[in-house]
Structure 1
């Protein structure tokens, strides 16, 4: 009988705290905050901002497989991941802070374009080193879905906190057109310093448990090819791309939504929060009964339904509250179920190849999904433009067509992508008795290795 796996509370707390603050900074930069600050406040043309995001998408995708390959082959007394987390923290905090200040280049369209592009380039480089390492640690700290589930329940709570920054903090502290940005910039400095310290000190409270011989691992190109030969991974990528795209566009559009509609922010967020809590309980109870795959199908349909309701009735308080509750159900599933699915994909790869390649899978995943961040930012800006949104107009003063365009830009693509995800999950192969048997064999292999 296998010994029950346990991960200490301190390890969970510090891992999730570091992940939370790392994600908070990323959410503020890539979740709409940077686009809003550079276009609405500094005056960068929306078309140029869209070009920045599309150019950035190339580096944003390519650096992840490269770092995943490097980290999988890293040899250190601290492990394969912790050196990047510990020593990347300072640079990550510094570039975040500098992104919110006008550089000596000046305020011309060319200068703003260059500053935004360079800021994104360096920010994402350090984010990749830290976030990818934090992302894969649960799969090396624990092996069973039960033990990993305990980590991910903690991560859900901390992820909700990290999402509160772009969803709640940014709309409250952002500088409006013509206002001073000093208060906003002070808050960004404080956030950058706190994040640096927490990420650095967190690395003394957790460590890797499972690994494989870096020298025997396949080369970069072979590793990438093996990922794409894994059918479970291909299905996973459909839902993973959707989740990243939706998270980004939700954060991008929330400021515009509350600017133009009179739905009370506290009621909307309360409905979202209640839905998320109910969703966590639902998915934890359902996972053991119907499995991860079927839960993700239900989650996807629920989110699509909530998003559709926002488009057609999101201007009214009661329908909006119902929609945000349903979206909360789906959103919690994205945070809890999708990481468990990723763990299954990585375990299946080890069972077939004999290597643990969490970093490479995280990197290739980002190769496919990180462009979703750029696509979401670019799509939102372009769609509201098609509906006549005017950036020069004060909050709440857009015409009826522009207001409707905000809802369409915010929720139409998320609804469509989640429907596609629900259909794709029908092809997910890691279900049933055969997968359960393979998982048990892998557990016995790890027991022997220890």
Structure 2
């Protein structure tokens, strides 16, 4: 093991094998493909392709928001209590992948017919059922890095792999629908075969990747907190609450970026076919660049500074894009710059949440990764619903008509407002919230060193118990 010097103390550099990083990244990428396609383009699919009224879709998202917020803490705490030979986390990825793929394919099939009522019911069921399986798997993907490593350097390295591979997954989830949905008003014959292939391939990758992952086995032996006590300790965690304010606003902006981009490309830039994914490619190329670059600067610049700087940068780029985004080349350039800021933020997001979970361990003495991932959803999941409702509301106010292939100037202004200006304002609010985040500096690094020694002792105790058995 290597070491890094921090405030005259030594923090063990707990390196994770490249094989494990790649497996974890591929698992997250497969999840991102399916989750990104459903939550990113299902609104456009039902609104523009199946012609379900935008107002009803917005209502469905708000209704779904209540369940979406509640199921995550319940499932997260349930996962903490899981005991199996495979561990607390891995079974949910390995066997959950089978249901994940099946529900992904079913999400695109209007089982109850094409009437307005039937589509509305179908849309709500898709959101409820698909999100439940995504939550079971996603909680693990979100929280496992905090178990894999302790240092910010190692966690950032894991995050770089997951961000780059995950971004490839998100890229696929946006490019494929962008091509399929912009080939005229009707769905092309290749649509459902493509959906089936993506569902099966993603399931297989997730299932195989689970055999290369690792988790802390000793944590499974610890006595867990009760449901309400778990929630109470999360809500007493000041760094967590501050971070959730930031998360809430960022998620609204990110939801608009990844969902409303179909409207921007189709009705403002008026691109179709292969040209339609140029703005998407621009975003994700810079996310890759940012992920590789920022992950190497975490130790030097500090998590908090990088995180706030990336949010501020993306916010300013959103503002500029509002004024120049109606033109193809400036629009693509601004999308690329927005992507760079978001890429840097994505690399540091998981590392900051891992620090918050570490802080919780200093208060409770327990590792509670999926509990925090679940309670995090109390704030984040409503933001997803609000983001989808918000841009649909703005587009509707400006007269958007999903049955029209060409929209008027007022509608285009509304799309630019909802897609660029509003997210820009929200991103700056998100950055402001993080100014008050306290887990930063020498004292926090010293505390992490103490925690690492505790983890080593817990692992020794666990191995001793195994030997006795």
Which of residues 424, 436, 439 is equivalent to 2:433? 424
Structure 1 residues 280 and 180, CA, compared in 2 at 3 Å: closer, same or farther? closer
Alignment of 1:45 with 2:53, yes or no, is: yes
Q: Between Structure 1 and Structure 2, how many residues are aligned?
A: 446
Q: How does 1:306-317 map to 2 (within 5 A)?
A: 306-317=317-328
Q: CA deviation at 1:140?
A: 1.1
1:266–1:406 Cα change, 3 Å: same
For residue 114 of structure 2, give the secondary structure of its aligned residue in structure 1. coil
Query: 2:223 matched to which residue of 1?
Result: 216
Partner of 2:69: 61
Aligned to 1:79: 87
Q: Does 1:201 align with 2:212?
A: no
CA RMSD of aligned residues (A): 1.9
Q: Does 1:184 align with 2:191?
A: yes
1:107 aligns with one of 114, 120, 126:
114
Q: Is the 8 A contact 2:44 2:262 kept in 1?
A: no
Out of 24, 34, 37, the position equivalent to 1:25 is 34
Distance (Å, rounded) in 2 between the aligned partners of 1:175 and 1:188:
16
Residues 1:237 and 2:244 are matched in the alignment: yes
For residues 240-251 of structure 1, what are the structure 2 equivalents within 5 Å?
240-251=247-258
Is 1:335 aligned to 2:346, yes or no? yes
| Local SS of the residue matching 1:204 | helix
SS of residue matched to 1:216: coil
1:95 pairs with 2:103: yes
Provide Cα deviations, 1:59-84, integer angstroms capped at 9, x if missing partner.
11111000110011111110001111
Superposition deviation, residue 249 in structure 1: 1.2
Q: Which moved more, 1:313-322 or 1:408-417?
A: 313-322
| Cα distance change, pair 45–265 in 1 and its aligned pair in 2 (3 A) | closer
TM superposition shift of 1:194: 0.8
Secondary structure at the aligned position of 2:302 is classed as helix
Shift of 1:311: 1.0
- CA separation of 1:204/1:180 partners in 2, compared to 1, >3 Å: closer, same or farther? same
User: Contact 1:140 / 1:210 at 8 angstroms: preserved in 2?
Assistant: no
Q: CA deviation at 1:341?
A: 0.6
Kept in 2: contact 1:300–1:330 (CA 8 A):
yes
User: 1:180 Cα deviation (Å)?
Assistant: 4.3
Distance 2:307 2:79 in 1: 30
Counterpart-to-counterpart distance in 1, 2:439 and 2:240? 10
TM-score w.r.t. length of structure 1: 0.94
1:127 is matched with 134
Once residues 58 and 327 of structure 1 are traced to their aligned partners in structure 2, the CA distance between those partners, rounded to angstroms, is 30
Equivalent position of 2:443 in the other structure: 434
Q: CA deviation at 1:142?
A: 1.5
Query: Is 1:12 aligned to residue 25 of structure 2?
Result: no
Change (3 A) 1:173 1:282: same
CA contact (8 A) 2:260 2:419 kept: yes
Report the Cα offset of residue 38 of structure 1.
1.4
Q: Secondary structure at the match of 1:347?
A: helix
CA distance in 2, matches of 1:208, 1:175: 43
1: distance between equivalents of 2:25 and 2:280? 22
2:172 paired with 1:165: yes
Deviations 1:308-360 (A, max 9, x none): 11111111244324422321221112210111111110111112210100011
Larger CA deviation: 192-201 vs 269-278: 269-278
Asked whether the 8 Å contact 1:73–1:214 carries over to 2, the reply is: no
- Counterpart position of 2:291: 280
Alignment check: 8 A CA contact 1:244 1:369 kept? yes
- Kindly provide the CA deviation profile for residues 260-311 of structure 1, in whole angstroms up to 9, marking residues without a partner as x: 2158656534543453344335523442223111111111110111111111
1:92-150: CA deviations, max 9, x gaps?
Answer: 111111121221x2211111111111111111111111111121111112122122122
Deviation at 1:198? Answer: 1.3
1:401 to 394, 397, 410: 410
Tell me the equivalent position of 1:116: 123
What is the TM-score when the length of structure 2 is the normalising length? 0.90
- CA deviation after TM superposition for structure 1 residue 188, in Å: 0.5
Query: Whole-Å Cα distance in 2 between the matches of residues 215 and 124 of structure 1?
Result: 29
Which of 334, 358, 373 lines up with 1:323 in the alignment? 334
Unaligned stretches of 5+ residues in structure 2:
1-9, 460-469
How far apart, CA to CA, are the structure 2 residues paired with 1:38 and 1:20?
A: 25
Q: Which residue of 1 aligns with 2:307?
A: 296
Residues 1:195 and 1:213: Cα distance change in structure 2 (over 3 Å):
closer
> Which SS does the other structure have where 2:13 is aligned?
coil
**Cα shift at 1:208:** 0.3
1:270 & 1:216 partners in 2: Cα distance?
Answer: 47
Write the distance in 2 (CA, Å) between the matches of 1:271 and 1:35. Answer: 23
Q: What's the offset of the Cα at 1:238?
A: 2.2
